[in-house]
Structure 1
Amino acid sequence: MTQDTVATAASNNPLLSTLVTAVKKAGLVDTLNNTQNLTVFAPTNDAFAKLPKATLDKVLADKTMLTKILTNHVLATRLGPDKIVGTHQTLAKTSDTVSGTVPTLTVKGGATAKIICGNVQTANANVYIIDTVLVPAS
Structure 2
Amino acid sequence: MKAITVAAPKWMGAGLLGLMLASTAQADHHGMAKADIVDTAIEAGQFSTLVAAVKAADLVDTLKGEGPFTVFAPTDEAFAALPEGTVDTLLMPENQDQLQAVLTYHVVPGKIMAEDAMAASSATTVQGQDLTITTMDGKVMINDATVTAADVKASNGVIHVIDSVLMPE
State TM-score, norm by structure 2: 0.75
Q: State how 1:1-138 maps to structure 2 within 5 Å.
A: 1=23, 2-61=33-92, 62-84=95-117, 85-100=120-135, 103-108=138-143, 112-137=144-169
Give the C-alpha shift of residue 64 in structure 1: 0.6
Show structure 2 runs of 5+ residues with no match. Answer: 1-22, 24-32
Q: Structure 2 vs 1, CA of residues 103 and 7 (structure 1 numbering), >3 Å: closer, same or farther? A: farther
Give the C-alpha shift of residue 53 in structure 1: 2.4
Output the amino acid matched with 2:134: S
SS at match of 1:15: coil
Give the ranges of 4+ consecutive aligned residues of structure 1 lying more than 4 Å apart after TM superposition.
none
Counterpart CA distance in 2 for 1:82 and 1:129 is 15
* Cross-structure match for 2:15: none
| Residues 3-44 of structure 1: per-residue CA shift (max 9 Å, x gap) | 101011111121111100000000101001103211100000
Output the amino acid matched with 1:93: G
The alignment yields a C-alpha RMSD, in angstroms, of: 1.4
SS at match of 1:132: coil
Query: 8 Å contact 1:113–1:134 — kept in the other structure?
Result: yes
How many residues are aligned here? 134
Counterpart CA distance in 1 for 2:160 and 2:153 is 9
State TM-score, norm by structure 1: 0.92
Counterpart CA distance in 1 for 2:114 and 2:137 is 7
Q: Structure 2 vs 1, CA of residues 31 and 7 (structure 1 numbering), >3 Å: closer, same or farther? A: same
Counterpart CA distance in 1 for 2:69 and 2:90 is 24
Tell which structure's C-alpha radius of gyration is larger: 2
Structure that is richer in strand per residue = 1
Identical-residue share of aligned pairs (%): 32
